Amino acid sequence: MGNPGNSGGGSICRDDRGGFLFAFASAYGVGSNVNAELKAIYDGMEKCLASGLLRVVVESDSQLVVNFLSGSLSPGWKWGYWIARINRLKCRGQFLFRHIFREGKGAVDAMARLGSRDQTTMMMSSRADLPARVRGLLFLDMVGLSSLKESARVVRG
């Protein structure tokens, strides 16, 4: 919510067939969008490991962050703290970091806005616990309509 500005993070963890496992939303205070992205990835990885999930694909709409985490770009000192923490978690499982276009992660963005807006941290272990808007966005993502929306935008452009 601004860069820098009030920030939050969120994650939705799904199984290999797209089934819901858990979600979280967290407030991170004032910071940059890259800082919020790194914190959300760290929190998500930590929750996956705590749940016994050791082989995880982490998707981010920040190509910069994906490049940092895959080792193809040096983060420098500014984000080194969070990169080092994420790297320690990487040693405890198998994590693949992949870029995804923003249109493919509307549900996760809604979770991040929820954490930022409510200035709280919440964990949801049932799909029914998700706000209705997030459930709807998650459904659209699961059936591939978020990708179709982007394709339609490209065709019109």
CATH number at residue 134: 3.30.420.10
Domain span at residue 16? Answer: 5-156
As beta bridge partners, residue 123 has: 24
Longest CA–CA separation in the chain, Å: 45
Residue with tokens 């998707």: 59
- Each residue's pLDDT tens digit, 24-82: 999 888 888 899 899 999 999 999 999 999 999 999 989 999 999 998 888 878 888 99
Domain count, the chain: 1
Which residue has better confidence, 35 or 110? 35
pTM over 0.85: no
